[in-house]
């Protein structure tokens, strides 16, 4: 990667921030993604000027021309990461350079300009520092950071934009699932697919999430928490959830997760858990697993646990799976021991409670 001079972010403090008392109340039990901080980071891009105008300013509405390309052809990508209040004091980010790299991967697929990794990580650090008081301290809570980039050129021709806005907003969050259930129920979609070979499945672009909504609505109608997608070709291989990767835990203690074939997102939580599980001496396979085999193994007891994982959801035990042709319980339907052990190992690292031999936790303060 070419090195760039990082101009410091100009900082304009919000002249009317949320009061201390109101912020404290908001931090007590935020619904995921519904509460926002006082500031945002922005950087503009144009073909002539490149990346310019890096700024942390008051959080405010954006002004876009109604013909802005993003509003018509969805040239939009995003990331999701968290700033943690650490147990021993101070705050930190978890592997932010991985999000910076994935953002560039998504930009490449959507024919967008590549934001230098250092500008990405610096934007997130600068925002988390300015909004430091918004990083919650309740156990398991964090400040969710949402970097995104949209095409802003006003033109209706179907082509890549010449102008973009990169922006980061921040939102204090607690648990992802409203139900608060110990284990989630999945709906296996046999009708909708999320991504096809050659498509955008491994890019974090808004369109993938728009395409998942009808399937997610079906899951909710069927009294499930989330949809699990199957592959678009053979319609039998488990891929991932709308916003999480998936793992399977077997009676012999080994774990398995679908391979990165281009149709699923390369989750940073996924990769971290694979590495940590191997460190703990577990056998980890990145191999395809079919929905029928999942049902058979859950029924026979060969499979003991399953969980979903991602930045927002952390590690979410899966208790039950439903579908038009499937209906089964994983183990006894409650969170499994290996799932809980891996979740503890991950969150101990993220909250600064465990040794960090790989330097995954970046201290902010």
Positions that interact with ligand PLP (CB under 6 A): 80, 240, 243-245, 265, 267-270, 310-311
DSSP letters, 155-178, are --SSS--SEEEEEEEEEEE--S-T
Q: Is 310 in the site for ligand COI (CB under 6 A)?
A: yes
Q: Which is nearer to ligand PLP, 147 or 310 (CB)?
A: 310
Q: Which is nearer to ligand COI, 39 or 146 (CB)?
A: 146
Q: Cβ of residue 52: shortest distance to ligand COI, in angstroms?
A: 27
The answer to whether the CB of 56 falls within 8 A of the CB of 199 is no
First to last CA, the chain: 27
Q: Which is nearer to ligand COI, 54 or 312 (CB)?
A: 312
- The radius of gyration of the chain's CA atoms, rounded to the nearest angstrom, is 21
Q: Is 147 in the site for ligand COI (CB under 6 A)?
A: no
- Selected range binding ligand COI among 49-57, 84-92, 183-191, 306-314, rule: CB under 6 A: 306-314
DSSP, res 68: B
Q: Cβ of residue 106: shortest distance to ligand COI, in angstroms?
A: 12
- Residue least distant from ligand COI (Cβ): 80
DSSP letters, 114-138, are PPPHHHHHHHHHHHHHHTGGGS--S
Strands 10-11 and 50-58: parallel
Write out the binding residues for ligand COI, residues 240-279 only, by CB under 6 A: 243
Q: Which is nearer to ligand COI, 258 or 310 (CB)?
A: 310
Three-state SS at 192: coil
With CB under 6 A as the contact rule, the residue among 37, 91, 295, 311 that binds ligand COI is: 311
Q: Which of ligand PLP, ligand COI, none has residue 245 at its interface (CB below 5 to 8 Å by kind)? A: ligand PLP
**What sign has the CA pseudo-torsion 62, 68, 72, 78?**
negative
Using alpha carbons, list the distances in angstroms from residue 149 to 45, 97, 167, 223, 226: 10, 17, 6, 34, 26
What is the signed CA dihedral for 345, 350, 355, 360, rounded to 10 degrees? 110
Q: Is 312 in the site for ligand COI (CB under 6 A)?
A: yes
Q: Is 80 in the site for ligand COI (CB under 6 A)?
A: yes
Q: Which of ligand PLP, ligand COI, none has residue 96 at its interface (CB below 5 to 8 Å by kind)? A: none
Q: Cβ of residue 283: shortest distance to ligand PLP, in angstroms?
A: 21
Binding site for ligand COI (CB under 6 A): 80, 209, 243, 310-312
């Amino acid at each position: 990667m070419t090195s760039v001079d990082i101009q410091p972010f100009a900082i304009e403090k919000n002249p009317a921030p949320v009061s201390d008392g109101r912020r404290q109340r908001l931090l007590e039990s935020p619904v995921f993604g519904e509460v926002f901080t006082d500031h945002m980071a922005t950087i503009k891009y144009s073909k002539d000027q490149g990346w310019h105008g890096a700024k942390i300013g008051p959080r405010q509405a954006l002004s876009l021309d109604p013909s802005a390309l993003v509003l018509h052809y969805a040239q939009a990508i995003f990331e999701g990461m968290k700033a943690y209040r650490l147990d021993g004091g101070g705050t930190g980010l978890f592997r932010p350079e991985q999000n910076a790299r994935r953002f560039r991967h998504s930009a490449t697929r959507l024919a967008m300009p590549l934001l230098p990794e250092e500008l990405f990580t610096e934007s997130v650090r600068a925002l988390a520092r300015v909004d430091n008081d918004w990083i919650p301290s309740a156990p398991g809570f964090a400040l969710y950071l949402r970097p995104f980039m949209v095409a802003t050129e006003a033109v209706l021709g179907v082509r890549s934009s010449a102008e973009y806005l990169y922006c980061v907003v921040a939102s204090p969050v607690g648990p992802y699932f409203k139900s608060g259930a110990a284990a989630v129920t999945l709906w296996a979609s046999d009708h909708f697919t999320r991504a096809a070979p050659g498509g955008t499945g491994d890019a974090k672009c808004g369109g993938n999430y728009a395409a998942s909504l009808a399937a997610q609505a079906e899951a909710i109608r069927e009294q499930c928490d989330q949809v699990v997608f199957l592959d678009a070709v053979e319609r039998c291989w488990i891929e991932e959830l709308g916003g999480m990767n998936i793992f399977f835990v077997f009676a012999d203690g080994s774990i398995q997760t679908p391979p990165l074939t281009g149709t699923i997102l390369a989750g940073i939580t996924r990769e971290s858990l694979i590495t940590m599980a191997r460190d703990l001496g577990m056998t980890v396979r990145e191999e395809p697993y079919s929905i029928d085999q999942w049902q058979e193994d859950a029924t026979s007891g060969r499979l003991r646990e399953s969980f979903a994982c991602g930045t927002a959801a952390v590690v979410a035990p899966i208790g039950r799976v439903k579908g038009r042709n499937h209906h089964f319980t994983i183990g006894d339907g409650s969170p499994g021991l290996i799932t809980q052990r891996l979740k503890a190992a991950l969150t101990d690292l993220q909250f600064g409670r465990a040794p960090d031999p790989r330097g995954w936790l970046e201290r902010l303060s």
